[in-house]
Amino acid sequence: MSKLNPITRELQISGIRKFTDLVANYPEAISLTIGQPHWPTPEHVRRAAAVAIEDGRTTYTPNRGLPALRQAVATYYSDKFQLEYQPETEILVTAGATHALDISLRTLLQPGDEVLIPGPAYPGYEPVVRLAGANPVSIDTRKDGFKVTPASLKAHVNERTKAIVLASPANPTGVAYTREELSELAGALRPTNLYVILDEIYSELHFAEQHVSLATFPDMRHRCIVIHGLSKSHSMTGWRIGFTFAPAEITAEMVKLLQYSITCASSISQYAALAAMEEGRHDAKPMREQYRQNRDMVVASLRRMGLQIVEPQGAFYAFPDISASGKSSQQFARDLLQEANVAVIPGDAFGVLGEGYVRLSYACEPDKLREALERIGHFVEAL
Ligand code: PLP
């Protein structure tokens, strides 16, 4: 064992997975744990995959992804979010956003570099930074509504800072940056030479306003790598399709990592993704509407219980403060599971800054959610 990579050995399995595995021992529990839409993949997308299999379109594709898919992706994201990227040189099809994050960060980072990660944060960022020999640096956003501000950004930049990871809407808090906030952040970034990894996987699940990408602000494009994917917008978590949008010189480097890690994304999934891009423009709409209604139910209900919560503006997560219970986030989640048969994720799965919170995923049927909230209400009342 001692000969194995010490960085890998120090990595931990994500706290989300650990807790989800524990929940498997409670078959009667209502699970609000996993970041997975409860809708099936749209029928037209499944059909396209079945046809691809029947037609034998099951061979390797170009490393960057099918040219037709990259063209469709370019059109889709240009129309939706004004992301203007060349399909031949600036877009890659990856094995999910997870893989997109991996090749983006590894392309940028050298040992000793620092990467700013506003926290509490999705647990997928930090390990990739560490694997590249670089150092993650948390920005504490708890007093700023879970958002990084120009002041908190500036306070953490030094000569080793290479990049910042920005997610909007974010996991686990559901907060999203407004156009004004992004404009101010762009102002703070302009005098620096930082790269920005923009995790926009939840952009179609934005309740308040149309999603805006920081990459579209003046002087931002050259420093941004935009991460997208179909897991959330088209309920395609198992198909493993993600995208990167980045200037040609960065993409030319990333494609090498893509080639040597996966060769290409699954051809069948790529044909499914092509259908999603060409005919699935409105697939996310009913999901977004359902999540917005669920969000309203969750926020109103948690506030009635006396729990503090920053209102989520997108995705499908709520991140209430449970510190008044006097329990650690692990203890709270375990007791809730054992006593009330409801599973949520302890906040410490999102780093030390997540301690004192729990994450509820409200990607589920409203009736199930209502029942879970009632049980949580009784549990909190009895504390
Ligand atoms: N980024 C964020 C913020 C996420 O919440 C997730 C998944 O939960 C991902 C990236 C990874 O998504 P994918 O399924 O495309 O790998």
Contact 5, 132 (CB under 8 A): no
Binding-site residues, ligand 1, Cβ < 6 A: 35, 96-98, 122, 124, 167, 171, 199, 201, 229, 231, 237, 242
Report the distance separating Cα 246 and Cα 144, nearest Å: 29
Q: Is the pLDDT of residue 1 over 80?
A: no
Report the distance separating Cα 67 and Cα 73, nearest Å: 10
Tell me the pLDDT band of 208, cut-offs 50, 70 and 90: confident
Q: What is the residue with the minimal CA distance to atom 5 of ligand 1?
A: 171
Q: State which of 232, 261, 316 you would mutate to test the pocket of ligand 1, scoring each by most atoms of that ligand within 8 A of its C-beta.
A: 232
pLDDT at 34: 85
Contact 334, 359 (CB under 8 A): no
Q: What is the pTM of this model?
A: 0.97
For residues 190-212, average pLDDT: 95
Q: Which two tokens stand for residue 307?
A: 């729990």
CA atoms in the 13 A half-sphere facing the CB of 173: 28
Report the distance separating Cα 306 and Cα 380, nearest Å: 9
CA–centroid distance, 231 to ligand 1, in Å, is 7
pLDDT at 18: 82
For residues 128-156, average pLDDT: 97
**Torsion-angle region of residue 157: left (phi > 0), alpha (psi -120 to 50) or beta?**
beta
pLDDT at 19: 84
Instruction: Enumerate the H helices of 204-283 as residue ranges.
Output: 248-262, 267-279
pLDDT at 8: 92
Q: State which of 20, 231, 317 you would mutate to test the pocket of ligand 1, scoring each by most atoms of that ligand within 8 A of its C-beta.
A: 231
Q: Which two tokens stand for residue 347?
A: 């906040």
- The DSSP code for 238 is G
The pLDDT tens digits of the residues spanning 31-73 come to: 999 888 999 999 999 999 999 999 999 999 999 999 999 999 9
pLDDT at 279: 97
Q: Which two tokens stand for residue 64?
A: 């960057």
Q: Is the pLDDT of residue 4 over 90?
A: yes
By three-state DSSP, how is residue 57 classified? coil
CA–centroid distance, 202 to ligand 1, in Å, is 8
Q: State which of 17, 122, 241 you would mutate to test the pocket of ligand 1, scoring each by most atoms of that ligand within 8 A of its C-beta.
A: 122
Report the distance separating Cα 349 and Cα 330, nearest Å: 9
Mean pLDDT of the chain: 96
Strand order in the sheet with 345-346: 317-318, 358-361, 345-346
Q: What's phi and psi for 377, nearest 5 deg?
A: -55, -50
Q: Is the pLDDT of residue 207 over 90?
A: yes
Q: Is the pLDDT of residue 13 over 90?
A: no
The pLDDT tens digits of the residues spanning 268-282 come to: 999 999 999 999 999
Q: Kindly give the number of the ligand 1 atom that is closest to the alpha carbon of 242.
A: 15
pLDDT at 172: 98
DSSP lists the bridge partners of residue 199 as: 167, 227
The pLDDT tens digits of the residues spanning 84-94 come to: 999 999 999 99
For residues 284-301, average pLDDT: 97
- Name the percent of the chain lying above pLDDT 70: 100
More confident residue, 298 or 9: 298
